Structure 1
Amino acid sequence: MRYQVDEQDQAIIAKRMAALDAMTGPRVGDWVHFANDVRWRISSVIAYPADGDGPVVHKVQTSEGGSYYLGLGYVSMSGSLEDPIPVSSLTLTEQTIDACLWIFHHDLPGGSRGVRFTRPMRVYRCALPAPGTDPNWRPPARPASREDLMRSMTLEHLPAQGVLFRGEHELPHMSQVLRRDLTGQKILFAMHYGYGRRAFGYVRGPGHGELWTFLVYAPGHPGTNWTAFATEQDLRNFTEAYDLKIHGSLTPGGRFELELPSNTDRWRPAAVSTPSGPTT
């Protein structure tokens, strides 16, 4: 059963929002409009201990997505968080933007008892670009929806039997199962939503004893594993497939960057390799 917000829930929400609106300063759930026009929500407010006799440093973390639970005078967020930014870089505006929140139906915790609703939340201007994004990046005038981007990477038009490739790059296992180019989808998300135009990589040293030698981290999230390759040729097949440019060292122990393209014009076509030959 899927619950809907009713009068009892509305009363709970009104009481909790009144307590939240009495708070001053940045709150979890508020919006931050960054200098490069990225707009994310605050997901954590942190007070760092003073260094010696110095002042306590207040910072916030932001997130592009996540789930925001409304409590009595607070909001709690579940999801991934970006690097912290100083509160001193934020300026409160007079604007509000509706944002999604949720509570338990009738305030009774339990599985599938969450009810979602929107309420206006404050908007802060930030003097800094969004963490992990290209400072020069700007959202497209009419950014594509996530659904459109995912649909564009569907490869169901190709034969159901056979191995999926893009150029000489064999798509990973889950792409084969879902018949969707998940790597291309990740790159498109980075291009359209400002995750950053670079992905960082590392080359394991000799004698590491692992199958994967070339490790690549997600665009805009240098601590999150994205993909890995056993040989340099595998890595180059990957970069040629998606028009990625390699910067840095590919020698053992070296670090490198992959520059993402600004469009898909030079991506290699997707194809299926079958006993009768490739099909595009």
Structure 2
Amino acid sequence: MIRPYDRDVSTSTWFQSPDDAATRLNAVGYLTDTPTATTAYLTGALEKPLLLEGPAGVGKTELAKAVARATDAELIRLQCYEGLDEARALYEWNYKKQLLRIQATDTSQDWEQTHDDIFTDEFLLTRPLLTAIRRTEPTVLLIDEVDKTDVEVEGLLLEILSDFQVTIPEMGTVSAVRKPFVILTSNASRELSEAVKRRCLYLHLDYPDAKREKEIVLSQVPGVSDKVAGQLVETIGRMRDLELKKSPSIAESVDWARTLVALQIGKLDDAAITRTLGVVLKHRSDQERAVRELKLGR
């Protein structure tokens, strides 16, 4: 079944301007800077996928969630991993159910009739990519950690990102009625193909500066004092300057602030840092390096 794309149904779905994007994203708890707000607006206005690159924990996935919240859209997430294949990303047939239907079919029915009977929506198991393509309601499609997939999966993504359509041999071509707002995230563990990059807008997200991260912590953690938030952000920054296996993410900064509030710690001194270090550093070697380099307990 061919479903042509109609541009009129998706106008004004997303953001009206970069300022509108910033205001609405801030309202749902995602504090943006000018490049992020501008790119979020253009992703919707130009109907082009957005490739977000940057270290783990800087808010790439959270941006997709925030766009969905800010626009009242459904979030559909494809979590990428090594070995991901078309059946898990796009669709597969419910073979057991098809077999039961064949067994229950009148034996006088020819194969063409049987084929048309079993290759229908009733037996189609849609996965994230096809689900997002077929939806008529506003949809944010998050293709998370795309750099973890095999190179072969990029060929599948190219068809999706180029034409927003999927070819199902048994049923025909399915084209988007309403293009989803597409965000691909990458930790840059491998270089993506130029063909994929060419079809996307691009934004690199890095750790925020101390002022913005303090604003994030204060907005996300009721009860944390301005003083403790400042001490926390300063300490996190010093940790990120170390050569750690896993630098603290923004989410871990927020978790640390919540921990300090829960423990009613009003001053982030060496004793408090050492006591709660496991909230932000998840490798023993990182904790040992932090204790040594930050001279904790000395």
Larger relative contact order (CA 8 Å, sep ≥ 6): 2
TM range (shorter): under 0.3
Bigger Rg, which one? 2
Higher strand share: 1
What is the TM-score with the length of structure 1 in the denominator?
A: 0.25
Higher helix share: 2
What is the TM-score with the length of structure 2 in the denominator?
A: 0.24
